[in-house]
Amino acid sequence: MADSTDILTRYMAAINAHDAGAIQELISPDSRLVDATGVEIMGATALNDAWQAYFAMIPDYCIRPERYLTSPGGWVAVFGRAGGSYAMGGVLVPDSEWQIPFAALARLQNERVAEWRIFCDNEPLRRIMGFTSGEASS
C-alpha cells in the first residue's frame, strides 16, 4: 500500500505537469472536486474536462506543497502555495501572474484521490480576470 502523502504528491505533480492522463490514473471513477468557491465537479470525465479548461486558462498553474497532515479514514490536508498566470483565448494576459497561500483536503480511497477540496482565496485571480469582489464568475 502506498503512503497517503506519496499518492497526494504524485497527484499534485500530475496537476503541475498538466498531465490529464496521469490525473485520471490517480483519481477514483467517481472522484469529486470542490473548488474554493464551492463549485462541485463529480466523475472522472467531468474532472478531466474541468482540468483541461483550467490548464488552458492558467497555462503555468503550479501547486507547491509545504506541509501535509494525515488523519484516519484516508484524509490528508496539504498546505503550501499555488499560482500561475492568466491566459485569455490562449494568450497570456500581461502582468497576470498571481500566487496565493494554498490549502486542500483530500480523501483517499483504494490508493486513489476520491475527493479534493480546495480552500484558498482566489480573489487575486478574480481581480486579474476583471471580476470585483462579490461578482459571480459565470
Quote the pLDDT of residue 122.
Answer: 85
Write the pLDDT tens digit of every residue in 23-43: 999 999 999 999 999 999 999
pLDDT in tens, 6-18: 999 999 999 999 9
- Tell whether the model's pLDDT for residue 135 goes beyond 80: no
Q: What are the cell numbers at 34? A: 470542490
Q: Is the pLDDT of residue 134 over 70?
A: no
Q: Please give the model's pTM, rounded to 2 decimal places.
A: 0.88
pLDDT tens by residue, 65-113: 999 999 988 899 999 999 999 999 989 999 999 999 999 999 999 999 9
Per-residue pLDDT band for 136 (boundaries 50, 70, 90) equals low
- Show the beta-strand stretches assigned E in 7-74: 27-34, 40-42, 62-71
Domains defined for the chain, CATH in brackets:
4-128 (3.10.450.50)
8 A C-beta contact, residue 117 and residue 34: yes
pLDDT at position 28 is 96
Q: Are the C-beta atoms of residues 121 and 101 closer than 8 Å to each other?
A: yes
Buried-state track 103-122, b at ≥16 Cβ within 10 A, e below 16 = ebbbbbeeebbbbbbbebeb
Asked if 114 contacts 32 with a C-beta cutoff of 8 angstroms, the reply is: yes
Distance in Å from the first CA to the final CA of the chain: 41
Q: Cα–Cα–Cα angle for 127, 132, 138, nearest 5°?
A: 90
Judged by DSSP in three states, 64 sits in strand
Region 112-119: what's the mean pLDDT? 97
What is the model's pLDDT at position 138? 45
- For 84-133, what is the HEC assignment? EEEEECCEEEEEEEEEEEEEEEEEEECCEEEEEEEECCCHHHHHHCCCCC
Kindly report the average pLDDT of the chain as a whole number: 91
